[in-house]
């Protein structure tokens, strides 16, 4: 599971505590640094955010309610199941909670509206809330409401298409006729379309059965395909799951598994050298 920590978001300041970055973390450069350790981990799909209770509870009615319902003042992990648009929407909303100046544009307003409704970031929770900020853009451009709903419909259609294609694939097999490049492309599409975890797991399993046919590009799964190539980060957790499943298969010779381990080490070394956005 990828982890995002506040301390990764800017270079550490001398004399202040910083968090150890996760190998599969998504790097963000413009959040403020807190000199106290994270006391709340938010799980959104396969990504975890190591953050702080105060800025989130003060502006999100849902997070406040989840912590109150836990009946445990020491609760340090909650899961936001069902958040539309997944971690992208949460990332933007949590930036707002931390006081980051999020420029609200047409390209992200749909994500923000999803987050506002799901996380209950409304006026009754906080006066200068995210709901008011996003409504300001709608007032400037009334047609944006229609376009935003069309975007949501498009993502829903994309998810249905991706999951349907995955369900129509032949039975999992090492001798499958489905090309590795197609499986890899479909797995990457599950991220864009926010497809179900079961759909993604099925595709990872199919790839691992044919891993001996893969090239580097086939297993470099981007965390966020929308980012440009200069700041593209990759989902190391997905790669490790694929290799782990492959190494457990009894049908492969020990020599093949050794070569696979060597390839994995080289791959992880290569990924450490990639630029971080």
Summarize pLDDT for 148-171 with one digit per residue, the tens.
Answer: 555 566 777 788 888 888 888 887
How buried is residue 24: exposed, middle or buried, by Cβ count under 10 Å (0-12/13-18/19+)? buried
Looking at 93, 118, 141, the residue that finishes a domain is 141
Strand order from edge to edge, sheet including 47-51: 2-5, 47-51, 40-44, 77-79
Own/partner pairs for 64-70, CB < 8 Å, 24+ apart? Answer: 64/125, 65/120
Band the pLDDT of 218: cuts 50, 70, 90: confident
Of the three residues 110, 141, 172, the one that is the final residue of a domain is 141
- Return the pLDDT at 10: 38
**Same structural domain, 178 and 226:** yes
Q: Comparing 85 with 271, which gets the higher pLDDT?
A: 85
**Domain with 56 in it:** 2-141
pLDDT of res. 12: 30
178, part of any domain: yes
Say yes or no: 10 and 57 in one domain.
yes
User: Could you tell me which residues are beta bridge partners of residue 41?
Assistant: 50, 77
Best CA proximity match to 89, nearest among 64, 114, 56, 55: 114
User: How far is the C-alpha of 6 from the C-alpha of 116, rounded, in Å?
Assistant: 21
How many independent structural domains does the chain possess? 2
Q: Which of 141, 172, 191 is the last residue of a domain?
A: 141
Q: Which of 180, 187, 186 shows the shortest CA–CA distance to 209?
A: 180
The predicted-structure confidence for 33-63, as pLDDT tens digits, reads as follows 456 678 888 888 778 888 888 888 888 888 8
For the entire predicted model, the pTM comes to: 0.41
Residue 111: CATH number of its domain: 3.30.710.10
Is residue 19 in a domain?
A: yes
The predicted pLDDT at position 271 comes to 55
Q: Does residue 189 contact residue 233 with C-beta atoms inside 8 Å?
A: no
277, part of any domain? no
C-alpha of 38 from chain center: 19
Output the pLDDT for position 254: 54
Bridge partners, 234 (sequence order): 222
Do 159 and 134 have their domain in common?
no
pLDDT band at 21 (very low <50, low <70, confident <90, very high): very low
Do 161 and 112 lie in one domain? The reply is no
The answer, yes or no, to whether residue 20 has pLDDT greater than 60, is no
């Amino acid at each position: 599971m990828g982890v995002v920590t506040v301390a990764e978001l800017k270079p550490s300041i001398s004399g202040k505590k910083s968090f150890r970055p996760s190998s599969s973390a998504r790097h963000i450069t413009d959040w403020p640094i807190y000199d106290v350790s994270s006391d709340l981990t938010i799980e959104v799909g396969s990504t975890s955010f190591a953050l702080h209770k105060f800025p989130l509870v003060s502006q999100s009615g849902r997070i406040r309610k989840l912590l109150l319902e836990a009946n445990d003042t020491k609760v340090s992990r909650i899961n936001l199941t069902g958040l539309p648009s997944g971690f992208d929407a949460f990332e933007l909303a949590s930036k707002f909670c931390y006081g980051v100046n999020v420029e609200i544009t047409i390209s992200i307003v749909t994500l923000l509206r999803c987050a506002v409704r799901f996380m209950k970031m409304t006026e009754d929770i906080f006066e200068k809330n995210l709901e008011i900020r996003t409504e300001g853009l709608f007032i400037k451009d009334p047609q944006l409401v229609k376009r935003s709903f069309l975007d949501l419909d498009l993502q829903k259609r994309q998810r249905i298409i991706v999951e349907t294609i995955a369900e129509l694939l032949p039975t999992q097999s090492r001798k499958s006729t489905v090309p590795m490049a197609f499986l890899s492309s479909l797995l990457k599409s599950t991220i864009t379309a926010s497809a179900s975890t079961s759909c993604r797991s099925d595709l990872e399993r199919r790839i691992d059965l044919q891993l001996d046919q893969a090239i580097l590009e086939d297993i470099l799964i981007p965390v966020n395909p929308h980012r440009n190539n200069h700041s593209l980060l990759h989902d190391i957790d997905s790669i490790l799951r694929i290799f782990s499943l492959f190494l457990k298969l009894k049908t492969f010779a020990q020599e093949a598994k050794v070569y696979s381990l060597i390839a994995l080490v080289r791959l992880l070394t290569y990924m450490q050298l990639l630029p971080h956005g």
